[in-house]
Chain A
Amino acid sequence: MIGFVLRRLVQLVPVLLIASLGIWAILYAVPGGPVAGLVGENATPEQIAAVTAQYGLDRPVVVQYLDWLRRAAVGDLGVSIYASEPVVDLIGQRLPATLHLAVAATLVALALGIPVGVISAISPGSWIDRALSAWSALALGVPTFWLGILLILWFAVDLRWLPAVSGYVPIWEEPLTAIRNLLLPAITLGVYVSGILARFLRASLVSELRADYVRTARAKGLPERQVVGIHIMRNALLPFITIVGLMMASFIGGAVVTEAVFTYPGLGRLLIQAISTRDYPLIQGCIVVILILYVAINLAVDVLYAYVDPRIDYG
C-alpha cells in the first residue's frame, strides 16, 4: 500500500513539471509580458530596464524558470507585486475559505444527487424517472452565476433571510454564521454537481440491477430494500467515489465564478484579482497551488478506491 502511494507520488512530479512549464510559457513567452503591466503605458525605456532588472526578468527565460522552480520546490512562490507580500501567505489566507466552500458544496451535491439518482434508477422509464432526469438536465444547464443571482434575489433581497455577500467565517468559531454565509454559494455550486452525480449514479445503478448477483439475492428471497440498499449500493458507490473526488478537486479551482457572484474571499477571487492587476508571481502561485490540490485529491481518491475495493491490485 505504501509502495503504491509512493509510486503515485513520484508519477505526480512530471505532471507538475510539465504543467508549471506550460504556465510559464503562456505567461512569459508572449510579448507584452509582466513588465508592460508593471510600468504602465507611459514608462521611459530606463524605467522599463530598471523594473526588468529588479525582477530579474533580464536573465534568460530558462534561468528564470529554473530559479523559480528551485524556490517553488522549497515552498517559496515569490512575492506578490501588487500586495508586496509573499505569495504563499496570500494563498494561505484564502485556502481555508475555499476548502470550506468545497466541502459544503460537496455535501449539498451529495444530499441532492444521491436521492435523485437512486429514485430514478429504481423505476427506469417511469414518469418520476423522466421528471428527475429533466431536473438533472436543468441543474447542468443553468449557468452557476445566474442561479447564484436568482438565489440572492430570492433569499437575500426578497426574504432577507441570508446575506447577499458571503464572507468567510471559520465553522469552528461561529458555526451558525458560517453556515448562513456558506449556504447560498454551496447550493449554487452543489446543484450543478448534483446533476452530474445523479446522472452517474442512475447509470451505474441501472447496470448493476441487471447483474447476476442481484438475481441471486432476489432468488434467495431478500427484501428489495436489502437488495438495493446493501448489495447494489456497495457496488454502485465504488465508481461514485471517483466522481465525488473529481468534483471536489474541480471546486478548488472551478469555483471562481461562484466566488465572484457572492464576493466570497476564496482562492478563485484571489486569482481574478491577480489577473486583473497582472500580478504574475501571484497568478503562477495560485495556479500551481490549485494544480497541486487537484492532483493531491485525485491521488487520495485513487488510494481510497484501492482501499475500498478489494478487487483492485495496488501491489
Chain B
Amino acid sequence: MNRAWNSTLWLLSGLMARPASAAALLFLAAMVIVSLFADLLPIDPFAQRLTDALKGPSAANWFGTDELGRDIFARVIYGARTSLSTAAAAVVIAASVGIPVGLVAGFFGDWRDTVLMRFIDVLLALPAILFAMALIAVLGRSQMAAFIAVGITGIPNFARITRARVLSLRKSDFVTAVEAFGGSSGYNMFRTILPNAWSPILVQVVVLCSVAILLEAALAFLGVGVAPPTPSWGEMLRTGKSYLYEAPYYAVLPGVILTLTILSFDVIGRALASLLEDRHDAGGVQIERTAS
C-alpha cells in the first residue's frame, strides 16, 4: 500500500510540474468537487420560470436560461454529475471485464486467447457509437443503459492493452519463479503480473474517461442518452441547437465546459503516458478515438 501511495504522489507531482496537465488536473478536481457537492449550492437545475425563458447570461443566471426558464449554469453543474458518473461507471465495467479477459488471453495464450480475442475483434468491428445506439435501442433509454453501452465499448482497449503487457511479462524471471514455487495461475495472474502491468492500464483509464464523456454526450445529443429532465451536456446542446437564432449562448456555453472536460482528460492521459514511458514501458498507448 505504501508503494501505491508513493507512486500516486510521484505521478501527481509529475503532472503538477507541467503547466498544461496541472491546469487540466485542477479543472477536473474543481468539476468533481462541484458535482459532488452540487446539492449544497444555492442553484436548482429543475426550477422553471417560463416568463424568464431564453434570457441571455446575467448576474442572476451566469449562463442564461433555457427554453423553460431553467438556469443553464445549474444544469451544467448537475450535467457534470451525469458525465462524470458515466465515465466512472464505464471505467468500472470496461476494466472489470477487459482486464481479466486480457490477463487470461495473454497468460495462457492457447485456445482461450484465440476465442477471447476474436470476441474482442467483433466488438471492435462496429463503431462505438453504433454499438451503443443498438444496445440502447434494445435496453431502452436510461442512465443504466448509457452506463452499460459506454462501458462495453471500452472493453476491447482494456483487454488488448492488458494482453500486450502480459505477453511481455509472461516470460520474465519473476513470473517463472512464482510458477516454479507452485503458485497457481490465478495467483500468478492477479498477484504477480497485474501489479506490474498497471501503468498502461492507468493511462487507459484516463483515456476511457475522455472517450466515455464524449460518447455519453454524443448519445444524449442524438436523443438516446439519459432521459430528460436529468441534465446532460449533450442533451443541452441538442435542445440549444433548436434556438441558435434566439439564444446562441444556449448551445455554446455547455459545449465549452464539455470540451474543456474532454481536453483535460486527453491532456492528463498524454502527460501520464509520457511520464510512465520515461519510467517504464507504458505499452501501446491509444489516445485516438473513432470519428463521431
Which residues of A line the B interface, CB within 8 A?
Answer: 15, 18-19, 22-23, 26-27, 30, 32-33, 137-138, 140-146, 149-150, 152-153, 157, 164, 189, 192-193, 196, 247, 250-251, 253-258, 260-261, 271-272, 275-276, 278, 283, 287, 290-291, 294-295
* Chain-A contact segment, one of B47-55, B62-70, B95-103, B245-253: B245-253
Which chain B residues (109-143) contact chain A, with CB distance < 8 Å?
118, 121-122, 125-127, 129-130, 133-140
Q: A149 — which chain B residues lie within 8 A by C-beta?
A: 237, 240-241, 244, 251-252, 255
B292 within 8 A of A: yes
Q: How far is the CB of B263 from chain A (nearest CB, A)?
A: 4
Q: In whole Å, how far is B202's beta carbon from the nearest beta carbon of chain A? A: 20
Closest to A15 in B: B125
Residue B7 at the chain A interface, CB threshold 8 Å: no
List residues of chain B with CB within 8 A of the CB of A152: 241, 244
Known A256-B222, A278-B137; judge A157-B244 contact (CB<8 A).
yes
Q: Is the interface of B mostly helix, strand, loop or mixed?
A: helix
Q: For B130, give its contact among A15, A33, A260, A287 (CB under 8 Å).
A: A287
Contact A143 B248 (CB under 8 A): no
In contact, B129 and A145 (Cβ under 8 angstroms)? no
Cα of A251 to Cα of B139 in the assembled complex, Å: 26
Closest to A259 in B: B222
Most buried by B among A23, A27, A146, A150: A146
B244 touches A287 (CB 8 A): no
With a CB–CB cut-off of 8 A, which chain A residues contact B214?
143
Contact A257:B129 (CB < 8 A) given known A144-B291, A149-B244, A283-B137: yes
Q: Is B288 engaged at the interface, CB distance under 8 Å to the other chain?
A: yes
What 9 pairs between A and B have smallest CB-CB spacing? Answer: A146-B255, A141-B263, A275-B137, A254-B291, A253-B127, A254-B127, A30-B138, A257-B292, A149-B251
Determine the chain B residues whose CB is within 8 A of the CB of A141 once the complex forms: 210, 259, 262-263, 266
Q: When the two chains form the complex, which single residue of B135, B139, B252, B266 contacts A140, counting CB atoms closer than 8 Å? A: B266
Q: Are A143 and B255 interface neighbours, CB within 8 A?
A: yes
CB < 8 Å neighbour of B291 from A27, A138, A255: A255
CB atoms of A26 and B125 under 8 A apart: no
How far, in whole Å, are A255 and B291 apart by their CA atoms in the complex?
7
- The smallest beta-carbon distance between B215 and chain A, in angstroms, is 10
A290 to B290, CA, bound (A): 15
| Chain B residue nearest to A280 in the complex (CB) | B137
**What CA separation (Å) do A152 and B251 show in the bound complex?**
11
Contacts of B74 in A (CB 8 A): none
- B window 249-275: CB within 8 A of A: 251-252, 255, 258-259, 262-263, 266-267, 270
Taking the nearest CB of chain B, how far is it from the CB of A299, in angstroms? 14
In the complex the two chains form, is B218's CB within 8 Å of A257's CB? yes
Name which residue of chain A comes closest to B219, CB basis: A257
Q: Are B130 and A256 in contact (CB under 8 A)?
A: yes
Given contacts A19-B122, A192-B291, A164 and B244 within 8 Å (CB-CB): yes
Contact present for B288 and A196 (CB under 8 Å): yes
The reply to whether the CB of B25 lies closer than 8 angstroms to some CB of chain A is no
Q: CB distance B222 to A260 under 8 Å?
A: yes
User: Apart from A189-B291, A254-B290, what are 14 other A-B pairs with CB-CB below 8 Å?
Assistant: A18-B122, A26-B134, A143-B292, A144-B291, A145-B292, A149-B240, A152-B244, A250-B291, A253-B126, A255-B291, A256-B292, A257-B129, A290-B130, A291-B126
CB of B13 to closest CB in A, whole Å: 23
Contact in complex: A275, B262 (CB < 8 Å) = no
Contacts of B210 in A (CB 8 A): 141
Q: Give the residues in chain B near A19, CB-CB below 8 Å.
A: 122, 125-126
Give A149's nearest chain B residue, CB to CB. Answer: B251
Q: Which residues of B contact A261 (CB under 8 A)?
A: 241
Taking each of B122, B138, B214, B252, which has the highest tally of chain A beta carbons within 10 Å of its own beta carbon?
B138
**A192 vs B241: C-alpha distance when bound (angstroms):** 20
Q: Chain B contacts of A142 at CB under 8 A? A: 259, 262-263
CB atoms of B138 and A26 under 8 A apart: yes
Chain B residues, Cβ within 8 Å of A275 = 133-134, 136-137, 224
In the complex, the answer to whether A27 meets B255 with C-beta atoms within 8 Å is no
With beta carbons under 8 angstroms apart, the residue of B127, B140, B244 that contacts A153 is: B244
Cα distance, A258 to B221, chains bound together (Å): 11
Beta-carbon contact of B223 and A254 below 8 Å: no
User: What residues on A are CB-neighbors of B289 within 8 Å?
Assistant: 140
Q: Which residue of B118, B129, B287 contacts A254 across the interface (Cβ within 8 Å)?
A: B129
Residues of B within 8 A of A153 (CB): 244, 248, 251-252
Inter-chain contact A26/B135, CB cutoff 8 Å: yes
Question: Could you say which residues of chain B place their CB within 8 Å of the CB of A254?
Answer: 127, 129-130, 290-292
In this assembly, does B77 line the interface, its C-beta being within 8 Å of a C-beta of chain A? no
CB within 8 Å for A27 and B237 given contacts A146-B258, A254-B127: no
Tell me, yes or no, whether B217 is within 8 Å of chain A by CB.
yes
24 CB contacts below 8 A, A to B, read: A22-B122, A137-B263, A137-B270, A138-B263, A142-B259, A142-B262, A143-B217, A143-B255, A143-B258, A143-B262, A145-B237, A146-B255, A150-B252, A150-B255, A153-B248, A157-B244, A253-B130, A254-B291, A257-B129, A258-B292, A272-B223, A275-B133, A291-B125, A291-B126
Residues of A within 8 A of B221 (CB): 145, 257, 260
A145 to chain B: which residues have CB within 8 Å? Answer: 217-218, 221, 234, 237, 292
